[in-house]
Amino acid sequence: MPRLYRDVSVFMSNRIIILLGVPGSGKGTQAARLVNRLGYGHISTGELLRALEADPNADPADKKKLIAMRAGKLVADDLIYKLAFREIEKHLARGSGVVLDGAIRSVVQAESYQKFFEAKKLANEIIAIEIHISDETILARLRDRIKNQGQQRADDDPEIMKRRITEQGNAALKPILDYYRSLAALQVVDGELSMDEVETEIGSALRHASS
């Protein structure tokens, strides 16, 4: 474990780490590294939904909401909260913190998570970290993914890429960032750096927030 992470883990006060960033910013990679370094739980909305879909004993009402999602509708917020909050509580009960990986997609969701954390008396243990890249870099990284994979996913179509930037790019992310900035809980790191350098920047942000 790098010394930076050893130093952070000794005295860090943030049990809730919220990673924010546009598509292609590397949130998933950095979330996995944080979970590995700190021993925290990993909260990924996508993984929770896939686990629900594969669970033969899941609540039928929840499964019905998944069918609506596959039909092109947005995932109901109440389902997201139910799955995420339940998983967060499991990790907290074990005495570990959590890393939220792209789990918050709107200010309404951010406010709901905040109320949950306040009810758990964790409002002062939250840090939101934006891994910032430009919209131009989003397109470049998505194009590189197509080139490196040698095949095109449905959402790698150029027009779909542009729509994703409109819907999930920096302009769409800004209100969420402003919300966490208003709580004095936001740190920003340069996502244009290498993965190792971004990891170091995140460690520095955690150390700064804990000082």
User: Residue 121 is encoded by which pair of tokens?
Assistant: 């008396």
CB burial of residue 137 (10 Å; 0-12, 13-18, 19+):
middle
CB proximity list for 73: less than 8 A, separation 6 or greater: none
What value does the mean pLDDT take over residues 138-148?
73
- For residue 11, what pLDDT is reported? 43
Q: What is the Cα gyration radius of the chain? A: 17
- Kind of pairing, strands 186-190 and 16-20? unpaired
User: Residue 116 is encoded by which pair of tokens?
Assistant: 């949950």
CA pair distance 76, 65, nearest whole angstrom:
7
Asked if 101 and 202 touch (Cβ cutoff 8 Å), the reply is no
Q: Which residues lie across from 127 on neighbouring strands? A: 17
Could you report the per-residue pLDDT of 118-130, keeping only the tens digit for each?
999 999 999 999 9
pLDDT tops 60 at residue 90: yes
* Distance from the Cα of residue 61 to its chain's centroid: 26
Confidence of residue 63 (pLDDT cuts 50, 70, 90): confident
75-79, 85-89, 140-144: range with lowest mean pLDDT: 140-144
Could you report the per-residue pLDDT of 149-198, keeping only the tens digit for each?
655 554 456 666 677 667 678 998 999 999 999 999 999 999 999 999 99
